[in-house]
Amino acid sequence: MCCQRLARRGGTRLNAGMTSSHSSTSPRIAVVTGANKGIGFHVARKLGARGVHVLVGSRDSGRGETAVAMLRRDGVTADVLVLDVTAPDSIADAVASVKSKHGRLDVLVNNAGIISGNAAPTALALDDLRKVYETNVFGVVAATNAFLPLLRLSDAPRIVNVSSGLGSIATMTDPSSAYYGLTAAAYQTSKTALDAFTVMYAKELRDTPFKVNAICPGFRATDLAGPGVNASHGATDPAEGADIVVRMALLGADGPTGAFFDSSGTLRPW
């Protein structure tokens, strides 16, 4: 079954009335990688507002503690989860911690991501390519596979991969796209690879309760977007970019899998 047919199960636009996966009395447990700032922080806050117990992934414990203190002040149930997605020991420790404290995982948001310049393929330094892929691709696969046994213990496991429209081959090959001329080869192709993994995980897990989807949060004013990048450049509030992540994290059993949605909830081509 191809990804388009998987996606079509949910239609071309997310149904606002689509059921949420909340079914049991105990709070759902979510891990959000790279949640100490940017879009991930807002995902943590908004999941928490929906009653989810959020484990705030942060590769630096101090930055994670600061974020958790802010979330708790907002009434969110949150704990730090020290997690560097490029470090196997860190991933193993994080999985062991979630297992011993919670015994299962309901939601994994693969949000941590980096960018490294705008070099076109012909000018690309392989070290930059490797660095970006370590976090944006290998880190996602490593974290996903490590958390999979705990996700399998959930009645409604959800994996949300925070991708980017910049990785869409449909966009890269569309001369009418505003991003047609963009040449951030390492970052863009890392998200293309992430999209392909999203499809492949969804296909492999299609006869299970899992939902595996990718989203683009839109162009948001964060450190990744660049210093001083703001609304005047078209980069808007990262909190708004978190909404689609939360919707995909709490999808009901009737929701799509193997699909790619933009921040408005519209199904996008890969």
Q: Which residues are designated catalytic?
A: 164, 191
Helices (H) and strands (E) in the chain, counts: 9, 7
Estimate the share of the chain in helix, then strand, then coil, as percent rounded to the nearest 5: 45, 15, 45
182 part of the interface to ligand NAP, by CB under 6 A? no
Q: Which of residues 17-76 bind ligand NAP (CB under 6 A)?
A: 33-34, 36-40, 59-60, 63
167 part of the interface to ligand NAP, by CB under 6 A? no
91 part of the interface to ligand NAP, by CB under 6 A? no
CA distances (Å), 66 to each of 73, 94, 262, in order? 11, 18, 30
Which one of 95, 112, 151, 212 is in contact with ligand NAP (CB under 6 A)? 112
Find the length of the chain.
270
Which one of 28, 82, 94, 113 is in contact with ligand NAP (CB under 6 A)? 113
In what helix (H) or strand (E) does residue 162 lie, and over which residues does it extend?
strand 158-162
Sign of the CA dihedral running 172, 111, 254, 205:
positive
Could you give the CA distance from residue 88 to residue 153 in angstroms, rounded to a whole number? 22
Considering the complex, state which of residue 45 and residue 156 has its C-beta at the smaller distance from ligand NAP: 45
Considering the complex, state which of residue 74 and residue 223 has its C-beta at the smaller distance from ligand NAP: 223
Which one of 217, 255, 256, 258 is in contact with ligand NAP (CB under 6 A)? 217
188 part of the interface to ligand NAP, by CB under 6 A? no
Could you give the CA distance from residue 210 to residue 143 in angstroms, rounded to a whole number? 16
Considering the complex, state which of residue 83 and residue 199 has its C-beta at the smaller distance from ligand NAP: 83
171 part of the interface to ligand NAP, by CB under 6 A? no
Which one of 29, 108, 216, 244 is in contact with ligand NAP (CB under 6 A)? 216
224 part of the interface to ligand NAP, by CB under 6 A? yes
Which one of 20, 66, 86, 177 is in contact with ligand NAP (CB under 6 A)? 86
Cβ pair 132, 185 in contact under 8 A = no
Q: b/e for 97-127, b at 16 or more Cβ within 10 A?
A: bbeeebebbbbbbbbbbbbbeebeeeebeee
85 part of the interface to ligand NAP, by CB under 6 A? yes
Q: State the residues that interact with ligand NAP by CB under 6 A.
A: 33-34, 36-40, 59-60, 63, 83-86, 111-114, 135, 139, 162, 164, 216-217, 219-220, 222-225, 235, 238
